[in-house]
Amino acid sequence: MTKQLNVGMVGYGFMARAHSNAWANVSHFFDTGYRPVLKAAAARNVSKLRHFAEQWGYESQESDWQAMIERKDIDAIDICVPNDLHAEIAIAAAKAGKMVLCEKPLARTEAEGKPMVDAVEQAGVPNMVWYNYRRVPAVTLIKNMVEAGRLGQIFHYRAKFLQDWTISPDVPQGGAATWRLDVEAAGSGVTGDLLAHCLDTAIWINGGITSLTAMTETFIKERVHAETGKKQAVGIDDAAAVLARFGNGSLGTFESTRYARGHKAGYTLEINGEKGSLAWDLHDLNRVQFFDHSIEGAQRGWTNILVTDGDHPYLGKWWVPGLIIGYEHSFTHQVADFLDGLRTGKPAAPTFRDALETNRICDAIIASGMSGKWVQL
């Protein structure tokens, strides 16, 4: 029998829309045994909340998240607010016995994330962090191919996440639209916002990182704060370049910036192994590029696999073979896996504990960027 799962959303921005879309459509496509219901949405800005809640069909609205957490008719709290609010909400939700889902990164730092992990584990509540790119079918296929040994020994893992939206000095920091530039709200800049995605995917596919060194830069040193109207020092990293060693002996290179003119969400990755290479580009997200060295010499070359067949990860649940899917589907897949985890008792990853490791690596990047030294993890 299908069970109802009542969702309480905290926030109304871009991520709240991406998650709401996933909650709303997952049971149309995936048989998980659960039917999520958009039960309540909470935010302080009442007019923005009303617009959001009505557009997405939330049954009720709360002007403070505490009230929503206290409600008996809410099963799961989904946190889609700036990073500085994650810990307080997640801990309170766990104490109230709710399932907790949190937008990435888990917290601003590992130290802030640790009590969040303790809270969900002590309460024994299901929990997950939204690192959605794992669930792009092409990326999941890469994971499966690496796990099946198709690349043999891995030598290199290379990833980039490039944007260009903060090049102008007129972009403010702080406030609802630009909190990602305010170190108080975000914790870090591109490291926690963009590189965190690359790191989550990397450690999932290629295992743990054992040491790293990083170069970070803040190109624009002062920006007006949207809330005070005053110019103040910028505390976030605008760009980060990282050299890393993985536990399996391979070398990692990671780059992230908001100063790569022409790039809006340029997430790419490539893995090179003894038997072959695999590559993926978010802007062509249904394709995997594969070089298979075992193919006879004259026919050997890069093959492009269009990941749209019924036997590709998640694709059997969507349309018919050959029809492409997009960014938003990765969130639906994440909810589907979360709900499957509830049914099977095998929690979907990344859990809070898994995501804490990404925070640990981000902290090491920021520390190394400041000291110029290698950090052992």
Residues that bind ligand SOE (CB under 6 A): 163, 193, 197, 265
Rounded CA-CA distance 101/162 in Å is 26
Minimum separation from the CB atom of position 194 to ligand SOE (A) = 6
- Determine phi and psi for 36, rounding to 5 degrees: -65, 145
Q: Quick one: 163 or 286, whose CB is closer to ligand SOE?
A: 163
CB of 333 to ligand SOE, least distance (A): 15
CB of residue 342 to ligand SOE, shortest distance in Å: 25
The smaller minimum CB distance to ligand SOE, of residues 39 and 197, is found at 197
Q: How far is the CB of 179 from ligand SOE (least distance, A)?
A: 10
Which one, 62 or 78, has the nearer CB to ligand SOE? 78
Q: How far is the CB of 253 from ligand SOE (least distance, A)?
A: 20
In whole angstroms, how close is the CB of 68 to ligand SOE at the nearest point?
23
Nearer to ligand SOE by C-beta: 200 or 270? 200
Nearest residue to ligand SOE by CB is 193
Residues 6+ apart with CB under 8 A from 370: 216
**Cα angle: 243, vertex 330, 240; to 5 degrees:** 20
Q: Considering only CA atoms, which of 135, 89, 156, 46 is closest in space to residue 325?
A: 135
Which residues are bridge partners to 359 per DSSP?
A: none
Q: Give the nearer residue to ligand SOE in terms of CB position, either 75 or 193.
A: 193
- C-alpha 307: how far from its chain's center? 21
Residues 372, 213: Cα–Cα separation, whole Å: 7
Nearer to ligand SOE, 163 or 250 (CB): 163
Cα-based angle 346, 107, 207 (whole degrees, multiple of 5)? 50
Provide the minimum distance between the beta carbon of 252 and ligand SOE in the complex, in angstroms, as a whole number: 20
Q: Rounded to 5 degrees, what angle do the CA atoms 225, 228, 232 make?
A: 45
Give the distance, in angstroms, between the CA of residue 221 and the centroid of all CA atoms in the same chain. 27
Q: Which of 358, 355, 286 is nearest to 130 (CA)?
A: 355
Q: Which is closer to ligand SOE, CB of 200 or CB of 357?
A: 200
Give dist(CA 186, CA 188) in Å, integer. Answer: 5
**Separation CA 84–CA 127 (nearest Å):** 18
- C-alpha to C-alpha distance for 101 and 116, rounded to whole angstroms: 11
Q: Which is nearer to ligand SOE, 19 or 245 (CB)?
A: 19
Cα(114)–Cα(103) distance, integer angstroms:
16
Q: Give the shortest CB-181-to-ligand SOE separation in angstroms.
A: 11
